[in-house]
Structure 1
Amino acid sequence: MNKDCPVIDTAQMQRVGGQIGSNPAGIYQDNRGRRYYVKMLESAAHVRNEFIAAKLYQLAGAPTLSYLPTSHPCQIATEWVQLDKRYIAHFTESERKQAQRWFGVHAWTANWDAAGFSGDNQGVVDGRVVTLDLGGALAFRAQGDPKGKAFDICVNELDRLRSKEGNPQAFKLFADMSADQIRLAIDMVVAIPNAQIQQAIIDNGGSPKLAEKMNARKADMEIRKSLL
């Protein structure tokens, strides 16, 4: 969360653009001309879930949009950016390699929507590949349904995100990664100290149980790395 920015209150802003993606949302502009993309989620729990996911991505060094606080408990906002590219299909080979670097973070956070339904959840901003939406990470699916027991301590996403069945866009992006590339992607996660993971989760309203789960998922990834 960018603490240098004011709390986003869409009631005091002008709506200048519509929804992008599966959640009700809009582009809003404040009286200084700054623009934000604001989504309306099902509950404050969904908002907290996405904020925590963003913090975990940032711990690993994975580029995300800049998240901001909102006055409405069910809204989540990011600074509006002009994308150079929005679809994975338009990426150069170098940009695909950038995106693949963060495969381990997507798997760790159970971000089943890492690639997006039409390959539109990875974009390029000023030459850097950025994950554009984290609503499908951790406890909830991209459209808000809880994952339940499917989000556990086993990081099956290391296989799931490279399987064509049910996730063709992720398959196109990640399936050709070599064992060495996957090991390096896993290293981005296992290098994060457990204490930092716990602090990021607790400081953003998450539970000790979630912190324990994410550390256990990190440990599971380290074991799987040794088997590659």
Structure 2
Amino acid sequence: MNRPTLFPKANKAEQTCGRFANALTFKAPAVKRKTHPAPQQLSLFDGHDQAQPAPRVFHPRPRENGEKVRIHSPSAPTGQDSWTGADAVATFTPGSPVPDCLHGVPLAPWTDHPRTRQGWNQVDGQMDALGEPPLDLPMGKTAASGAIIEEPDGRIWLVHPTNGFAGYDATFPKGGAEPGLSLQANAIKECFEEAGLKVEITGMFGDFERSTTVARYYRGKRVGGTPADMGWESQAVSLVPKNRLHELLNGAADTPIAAAAGKPAGHDQARSIEGWKQVGKQHGSNPGGFFQDPTGQRWYCKFPKSADHAKNEILASKLYEALGIRTPHMELIRLNGRLGVASRMIAGLRRDEAGLRGGKVKGAAEGFAADAWLANWDAVGLLYDNMLVDEAGNAVRIDPGGALIYRAQGAPKGQAFGDKVAELETLRFGQNVEAAAVFGQISKAQIARGVAQIAALPDKRIRAIVQEHGPGTAGQRQELAERLIRRKADLMHSLAEDQ
């Protein structure tokens, strides 16, 4: 997919380009006020009404059905001194003046934006090599997507919903996922419709649960468009310093997003759980317990011995997700300066030792090849408690803490995690009694289907996932990704030999 070409970086004088640009050819109607002579003493019955009705202001862009949208309390744009001040909030309204360019990128209407669903699904600006996992949706929630659009000076774009829709004074641009659109395409479309901006996705930001949706936010940069072209859903668009986001945002669901937006991009980013309430005791060997976040969602949080062990577990869960293997949604968290792992609770999970040993649990055998590839030595658990069963009878791998380069207790595996997937044999016929009881009767056909699933995962996606979530330095993550790719090749070679 072709990527939009960026304009060369401008110097400070060029950033405002010395002129005003009015992106729209129409403006909200000007307010005309009548003048009156000095008041005279009037009879109570002379019929004069001194009160003047408030002017009716309409958004210059109508709804999709052509209906005009009245703005009850119009926003006011800020002056041009706010446009380039990194510490200033710059606000734009429909048709208001904007600089010709900002940070070397013109602010001009995106005139050739897609007009059809097919066009939006193929829109430039999507990041093919992102390696994002499927969006995990709890029961009753729907999918949404948006973007955290950051300027080179560190400021972030917010939208002000028209008439405070849904109670929001300001929020990040996003919208419900439209059928037939990828989440990335949907995010780009929403940024244009709500903020008037043309955006290029530059990475993953995170998945955030809201009142009715789970929204995936991407990191993005502006490559075109103008806030003066905002659609009818927004009555203003603001460019806000990170340390002032809390001044404009009023929705509780935006609080963790704003907190994350204030941190640098990168794999070390963790979600603070300082405001979460502990509601249950520790399970397992690592310190932790059950917690409830401000939305009421429950999580199991644990804190391994090292930050790298925590990241290692997050990475394993993301690789399982990429393969379509059922696991809870997991996030890297921070509490009192310590990194940990939060697993979102899935209602109705239960132990089923008999079902696992009898080969009656869907997904247990199908995920075996992934367990072997990821060297998840503790996939089943001593009490058959690492592979639980959901209400639909599917296996859920809830604890990949013993996968990849660390043992479950946090000791490094060293050379035991090599280029050859010995776990194809050791998990079925080795000394791990529980694993052998579950995997010992798996057929070659079941293994072959699992290996084919891994073979279909592109190398570039493996590299992207490992760089985003893995432990160690960038160089160490690169080596880990290459080892996983070599292990994938070994699985494919082993499968070919058996056929």
Task: Give the alignment's TM-score, normalised by structure 1.
Answer: 0.91
The structure richer in helix per residue is: 1
Match of 1:58 in 2: 321
Say which of 300, 304, 310 aligns to 1:37. 300
Tell me whether 3-12 or 186-195 shows the greater mean CA deviation.
3-12
- Residue 117 of structure 1: how far off its partner (Å): 1.2
Task: Check whether the contact 1:8–1:68 (CA below 8 A) recurs between aligned residues.
Answer: yes
What's the CA shift for 1:94?
6.8
Pairing 1:154–2:420 present: yes
Between 11-20 and 108-117, the greater mean CA deviation after superposition:
11-20
Contact 2:314 2:331 in 1 (8 A): no
Please tell me whether residue 23 in structure 1 is matched to residue 286 in structure 2: yes
Contact residue 314 and residue 470 of structure 2 kept, 8 A: no
Do residues 74 (structure 1) and 339 (structure 2) align?
Answer: yes
The residue number in structure 1 matching 2:485 is 215
Give structure 2 stretches of 5+ with no counterpart.
1-132, 134-205, 210-255, 257-269, 472-476
**Contact 1:135-1:141 at 8 Å conserved across structures:** yes
Amino acid in structure 1 at the alignment position of 2:208 = D
**1:201 aligns with one of 444, 447, 466:** 466
Pairing partner for 1:131 from 394, 397, 404: 397
Counterpart residue number, 2:31: none
Q: Distance in 2 between matches of 1:213 and 1:88?
A: 33
C-alpha contact (below 8 Å) 2:420/2:487 kept by paired residues: yes
The Cα of 1:182 is off from its aligned counterpart by 1.4
- Is the Cα contact below 8 Å between 1:88 and 1:96 reproduced in 2? no
Matched residue type, 2:405: A
Residues 173, 205 of structure 1: alpha-carbon distance in 2 compared, 3 angstrom cutoff: closer
1:8, 1:77 within 8 Å by CA — same for their partners in 2? no
Greater relative CO (CA pairs within 8 A, separation 6+) = 1
CA shift for structure 1 position 44: 1.0
Give the Cα–Cα distance (whole angstroms) in 1 for the partners of residues 442 and 294 of structure 2. Answer: 46
**Could you say what secondary structure the match of 2:301 adopts?**
strand
Q: Which has the higher strand share?
A: 2
Give the CA deviation at 1:83.
3.3
Q: 1:63/1:138 Cα in 2 relative to 1: closer, same or farther (>3 Å)? A: same
Structure-2-length-normalised TM-score:
0.43
Distance in 1 separating the partners of 2:376 and 2:323: 14
Post-superposition offset of 1:155: 0.1
Count of matched residue pairs: 227
For residues 37-85 of structure 1, give each alpha carbon's deviation from its aligned partner in whole angstroms, at most 9, with x where no partner exists.
1001111101111111111111111111011241334211011223332
Amino acid at match of 1:208: Q
Change in 2 beyond 3 A, CA 1:139/1:15? same
Instruction: Provide the C-alpha distance between the structure 1 equivalents of 2:349 and 2:300, rounded to a whole number of angstroms.
Output: 17
Change (3 A) 1:158 1:92: closer
Corresponding position of 1:115: 380
Are residue 4 (structure 1) and residue 208 (structure 2) matched? yes
- Residue 145 (str. 1) matches residue 408 (str. 2): no
Root mean square deviation of aligned Cα: 2.0
After superposing the two structures, state which structure 1 stretch, 110-119 or 22-31, moved more.
22-31
Gaps of 5+ in 1: none
- Mark the CA change 1:91 to 1:170 in structure 2 (over 3 Å): closer, same or farther: closer
SS in 2 for 1:33: coil
Instruction: State the distance in 2 between where 1:60 and 1:32 align.
Output: 29
Corresponding letter in the other structure for 1:39 = K
Deviation, structure 1 residue 11 = 3.3
2:433 aligned to 150, 154, 168, which one? 168
Rounded Cα–Cα distance in structure 2 between residues aligned with 1:9 and 1:123: 28
1:75-94 matches, cutoff 5 A: 75-91=340-356
How many angstroms does 1:166 deviate by? 2.2
2:402 alignment partner, SS class: coil
Rg comparison, structure with higher value: 2
Would the alpha carbon gap of residues 137 and 97 (structure 1) be closer, same or farther in structure 2, given more than 3 Å must change?
same
Alpha-carbon deviations, 1:125-170, whole Å to 9, x = none? 231321010100000011111100000100000001101x421111
Q: What's the offset of the Cα at 1:10?
A: 3.9
CA-CA distance at 1:178 after TM superposition: 1.4
2:278/2:292 contact within 8 Å kept: yes
